[in-house]
């Protein structure tokens, strides 16, 4: 695992545009999540939750920070002239994250949301390993994301169990 100190020349010229692109991709995930939470049903609001579940107001700020960090991780990996395989796993992470909130909040498909987040629990470490081959920083930036996903998995599983 090595950290590449100098990005390729063509990347230096595009680095700020690329960062904006990574932030935009993460922002799309965040907007979809916000819309899904805003359209959650009264049935969802009445679900039994574990006592250790976070308060509803915490999701927005936590996910906003996490998605920004995920964007920066992708950008750092890109700056190393990252391989397609790493980006494929990164894209799967974003897609599964994009799907989880509508499944859990708007769709009421809590068991399907649980399956989605369990897959994420495996894909994120694989992404970290792929990123770590070129940038330790890119890999380490995904640690808070993974930790929150593991916590979310436990909350999601408890909701399925309690309901």
> What are the tens digits of pLDDT across the range 108-159?
899 999 999 999 999 999 999 999 999 999 999 999 999 999 999 999 999 9
Q: Which single residue is written with the structure tokens 């994250």?
A: 97
In the CATH scheme, what is the code of domain 15-162?
Answer: 1.20.1260.100
> What are the tens digits of pLDDT across the range 37-66?
777 767 777 889 999 999 888 988 999 999
Q: In the chain, what are the domain boundaries?
A: 15-162
Residue 161 buriedness (CB in 10 A; 0-12 / 13-18 / 19+): exposed
**Residue 38's closest CA among 101, 98, 115, 94?**
101
| pLDDT number for residue 33 | 86
- How many angstroms separate the Cα of 5 from the Cα of each of 2, 17, 33, 69, 100? 9, 19, 35, 20, 35
- How many CB atoms are located within 10 Å of the residue 30 CB? 20
């Amino acid at each position: 695992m090595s950290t590449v100190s100098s990005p390729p020349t063509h990347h230096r010229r595009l680095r700020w545009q690329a960062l904006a692109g990574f932030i935009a991709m993460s922002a799309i995930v965040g907007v979809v999540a916000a819309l899904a939470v805003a359209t959650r049903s009264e049935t969802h609001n009445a679900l039994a939750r574990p006592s250790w579940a976070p308060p509803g107001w915490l999701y927005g700020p936590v996910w906003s920070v996490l998605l920004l960090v995920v964007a920066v991780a992708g950008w750092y990996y890109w700056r190393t002239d990252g391989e397609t395989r790493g980006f494929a796993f990164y894209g799967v992470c974003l897609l599964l994250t994009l799907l989880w909130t509508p499944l859990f909040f708007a769709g009421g498909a809590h068991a399907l949301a649980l399956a989605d987040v369990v897959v994420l629990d495996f894909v994120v470490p694989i992404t970290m390993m792929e990123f770590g081959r070129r940038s330790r920083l890119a890999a380490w930036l995904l640690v808070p994301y993974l930790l929150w996903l593991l916590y979310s998995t436990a909350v999601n599983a408890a909701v399925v169990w309690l309901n």
